[in-house]
Amino acid sequence: MIATPESSQYELRPKRLADGSVQGDLLEVSMGPQHPSTHGVFRMDVVLDGERVVKLKPVFGYLHRNHEKIGENTTYLGSMPYTDRLDYFCSLTNNWAYALAVEKLAGLQPPERAEYIRVIAAELTRLQNHISLVGFLLQDMGAMGTPLMYAFREREKILDLFESLTGARMMCNYMRFGGCRCDLPPGWLEQARQVADEFPRFLDEFEALLSENEILLSRTQGVGVLSRELAVNASITGPMLRASGVNYDIRKVDKYGIYDRFSFRVPLGEHGDVYDRYMVRILEMRESLKILQAALREIPEGLILDPKAKLRGFRPKPGEVYGRIEAPKGELGFYLISDGSPKPYRYRVRPPSFINLTILEDLCLGHHVADVVIILGSVDIVMGEVDR
């Protein structure tokens, strides 16, 4: 005789009463800081009704190093290595955002070649960030590392490029106020062109592996839908915003650096679910490749540092500035107040991952616990940036 819930003498699940409500307790789970799928030391206090999420409160601060106070006690140049460690996947774009803000404050102008090198470095960073993210998202879905390791295989080629250019794979510390630290080593451009030429073939393989996979489709479509109005009101930026259909890419709006010379499209999503965020990132990678190949073709010879820039004893005039760029995760901004001394008076980082987490609760309500992990994966957080 097969035991059915009605026939069993043990109460296996809460009884559904006549008016439709469920008799039972809500379960509060702490998806704690040590968890393989939470992208770092991140905790969520989730209140569950069975498997469905009723309430979700994110708790972070486990990696808080008070980077802003360190910035107030260090010189402008000394803060540059610390910016590498904010979003540790994308250290070159962090460097560029900080250098942009200080250049706006002090009125420095980087030369042509430096601007091209910055664009190349930023687009390479965007490529390796997006494929890592897709790899980690699939890892969270249970793909046991296969897409992740394929992504890392390509990421290694890009990190080798970074190492021969800056000396370090991740903590690059490469941009300076008024340009870049050192020039491209001989043979770097050929190596970079080779990487950029092989990348589309890898993306085709990657998409063949993933984009029509039924498991991926059924787990991501319709999950974690973010509406346009909520996305704009909640200050969401980056691929998450564009997956909800809002056309706001700071490279097109602010036209910082020399981005107005490159023609690239901005991919937009329709539904704002996890699948759209995944597809927007894949399409953004293809657009990044276009910018990268154009920049590698057109890069001129010349200086790489503004002759007016000073390394030591750099004292910008008093004033304040807010400089922002389109980092791979969203809008990364630096707000600096200077009082004429070598150290900033106020040094503030506008972290995209931190602000994109505002609506995590709204996205997860009503979904299963397994979906919470996937939605968190699609928000693309790095705790170094969330906690600073």
Tell which positions 218-277 bind another protein, by CB under 8 A: 230, 232-237, 246, 248, 253
Contact, 333 vs 345, CB < 8 A? Answer: no
Sole binder of another protein in the list 33, 81, 111, 245 (CB under 8 A): 81
Sign (positive or negative) of CA dihedral 220, 224, 229, 235: negative
Q: Which SS3 state, helix, strand or coil, does residue 59 take? A: strand
SS3 84: helix
237/378 with CB nearer another protein = 237
If the CB atoms of residues 242 and 294 are measured against another protein, the closer one turns out to be 242
9 burial level (CB within 10 Å; 0-12, 13-18, 19+):
exposed
The angle, 0 to 180 degrees and rounded to 10, between the axes of the packed helices 112-140 and 369-379 is: 170
Q: Smaller CB distance to another protein: residue 259 or 294?
A: 259
Closest separation in Å from C-beta 215 to another protein? 7
DSSP labels for 223-241?
SS---HHHHHHTT--THHH
- Footprint (CB under 8 A) of another protein, residues 102-161: 104-107, 146, 150, 153, 156, 160
- Interface with another protein (CB under 8 A), residue from 200, 217, 270, 308: 217
CB 369 within 8 A of CB 330: no
Q: Which is nearer to another protein, 147 or 377 (CB)?
A: 147
User: In 3D, which of 293, 262, 264, 239 has the Cα closest to residue 90?
Assistant: 239
* DSSP single-letter state for residue 260: G
Least distance to another protein, CB of residue 123, Å: 21
The residue from 5, 167, 302, 366 that contacts another protein (CB under 8 A) is: 167
What track of x and - describes contact with another protein for positions 36 through 75 (by CB under 8 A)? ------------------------xx--x-x-xx----xx
Candidates 214, 300, 301, 307: give the one binding another protein (CB under 8 A).
214
Q: Are 342 and 115 in contact (CB under 8 A)?
A: no
Work out whether 212 is an interface residue with another protein (CB under 8 A). yes
78 binds another protein (CB under 8 A): yes
Least distance from C-beta 40 to another protein, angstroms?
Answer: 14
Residues 272-331 that bind another protein (CB under 8 A): 311-312, 316-322, 324, 331
Separation between Cα atoms, residue 378 and residue 224, nearest integer Å: 9
For the segment 345-364, give every residue that binds another protein (CB under 8 A): 346, 348, 350, 354-355, 357-359
